[in-house]
């Protein structure tokens, strides 16, 4: 059964770069037809798609975040990663990683809370 | 401000049928399929409906989806207390090189 697990610092200082990794188990990140993505949810608010990546490296980013986001993939480790630069308090959220088929996030990680604060 | 528009809240009594609407535009719902997610309190969202009206394995047939033009709907029949959750619609948006857009979410209360 496919599982996704987010990992990374739970606290990031303003203006710094948020870095998270998603480890995939129970399946290969190199599977065709699937994209791997990041979604976030600020406390008490709705979902926001950050972006996604194919195992070959092709990416799609949310235009509102594109200038600050980088998503990369490491097929040797079965992992993909998120970097969000120049963070502010508005980037405080639960960050989820997910496997995307067509436009649907079929499998989700449990999520990790990242707080931006000095 | 979400790209897709949902009512912030909905409610119903056990056994009742409730619907949640999702309105978009020609660049998203009008030209792509709609997916629905259920988020129970304190948990990660779960895919409930994909490709407008398809249920993943394990999702009860009480849940159904439909799409017409630039709008979509999620219907829940035989409402149960465990259906109390937040529901989100989502779709691919063809603008600006393409990306996924979500609705703002609808909190469903079972009275």
| pLDDT at residue B49 greater than cutoff 90 | yes
User: Which chain A residues contact residue B46 at CB under 8 A?
Assistant: 108
Per residue in B99-109, pLDDT (tens digit) is: 899 999 999 99
Most confidently modeled range among A31-35, A53-57, A85-89: A85-89
Judge residue A76's burial from the number of C-beta atoms within 10 Å of its C-beta, 0-12 exposed, 13-18 middle, 19 or more buried: exposed
Give chain B's radius of gyration (CA, Å).
Answer: 13
Q: What is the pLDDT of residues B6-31, one digit of tens each?
A: 999 999 999 999 999 999 999 999 99
The total of other beta-carbon atoms located within 10 Å of residue A111's CB is: 21
Q: Please check the confidence at residue A29 and state whether its pLDDT lies above 90.
A: yes
Inter-residue contact A7 to A97 (CB < 8 Å)? no
Q: Which band of pLDDT confidence, cut at 50, 70 and 90, is reported for residue B37?
A: very high
Distance from CA of B92 to the nearest CA of A (A): 6
Of the partner residues B33, B46, B102, the one whose CB lies closest to the CB of residue A48: B102
More confident residue, A95 or B2: A95
pLDDT (0 to 100) of residue A33? 85
Cβ <8 Å between A103 and B35: yes
Contact between B33 and A102 using a beta-carbon 8 Å cutoff: yes
Q: Is B70 on the interface with A (CB under 8 A)?
A: no
Q: Which residues of A touch B102 (CB under 8 A)?
A: 46-49
Structure-token pair, residue A105: 């996030």
Mean pLDDT over all residues of chain A?
A: 95
Hey, what are B86's tokens?
């937040």
Q: List beta partners, residue A79.
A: A23, A74
In angstroms, the separation between the Cα of residue B57 and the nearest Cα of chain A is 11
**pLDDT value at position A63?**
92
pLDDT of residue B95: 86
Rg, Å, chain A Cα set: 13
The pLDDT of B76-90, averaged and rounded, is 97
Q: Which residues contact B59 (CB under 8 A, 6 or more apart)?
A: B48, B49
How many residues are given for chain B?
111
pLDDT at residue B98 tops 90: no
Contacts of residue A52, Cβ cutoff 8 Å, sequence gap at least 6: A35, A36, A37, A38, A59, A60, A71, A100, B100
Q: What per-residue confidence (pLDDT) applies to A103?
A: 85
Q: Give the mean model confidence (pLDDT) for residues B60-71.
A: 97
**In this structure, what DSSP letter does residue A55 have?**
T
Q: Predicted confidence band at B40 (pLDDT cuts at 50, 70, 90)? A: very high
Q: Is the pLDDT reported for residue A31 higher than 90?
A: no
pLDDT, position B97:
78
Give the pLDDT confidence score for residue B36 in this predicted structure.
98
Cα-based angle A82, A17, A77 (whole degrees, multiple of 5)? 35
Residue B79 pLDDT exceeds 90: yes
A29: how many CB neighbours lie within 10 A of its CB? Answer: 22
Question: Nearest-CA residue of chain B relative to A46?
Answer: B104
Q: What is the pLDDT of residues A48-81, one digit of tens each?
A: 999 999 999 999 999 999 999 999 999 999 999 9
CB nearest A46 (choices: B2, B51, B56): B2
pLDDT at residue number B34: 97
Q: Taking a contact as any Cβ pair under 8 Å apart, which residues of chain B between 22 and 51 contact chain A?
A: 32-33, 35, 37, 44-47, 50-51
Cα distance from A112 to chain B (closest Cα, Å)? Answer: 10
Answer whether B87's CB lies under 8 Å from B11's CB. no
pLDDT band at A85 (very low <50, low <70, confident <90, very high): very high
């Amino acid at each position: 059964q496919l599982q996704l697990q987010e990992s990374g610092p739970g606290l990031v200082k303003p203006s710094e770069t948020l870095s998270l990794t998603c480890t995939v188990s129970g399946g290969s990140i190199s599977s065709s037809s699937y994209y791997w993505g990041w979604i976030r949810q600020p406390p008490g608010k709705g979902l926001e798609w950050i972006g996604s990546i194919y195992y070959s490296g092709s990416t799609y980013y949310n235009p509102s975040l594109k200038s600050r986001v980088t998503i990369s993939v490491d097929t040797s480790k079965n992992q993909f990663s998120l970097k969000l630069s120049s963070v502010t308090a508005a980037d405080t959220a639960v960050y989820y990683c997910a496997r995307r088929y067509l436009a649907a996030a079929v499998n989700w990680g449990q999520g990790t809370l990242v707080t931006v604060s000095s | 401000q979400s790209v897709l528009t949902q009512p912030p809240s909905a409610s119903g009594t056990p056994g009742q049928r409730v619907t949640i609407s999702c309105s978009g535009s020609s660049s998203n719902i009008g030209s792509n399929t709609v997916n629905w997610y259920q988020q129970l309190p304190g948990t990660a969202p779960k895919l409930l409906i994909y490709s407008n009206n398809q249920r993943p394995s394990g999702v009860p047939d009480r849940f159904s989806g439909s799409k017409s033009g630039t709008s979509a709907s999620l219907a829940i029949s035989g409402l149960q207390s465990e259906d109390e959750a937040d529901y989100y619609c989502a779709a691919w948006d063809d603008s600006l090189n393409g990306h996924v857009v979500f609705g703002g979410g609808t909190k469903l209360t079972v009275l």
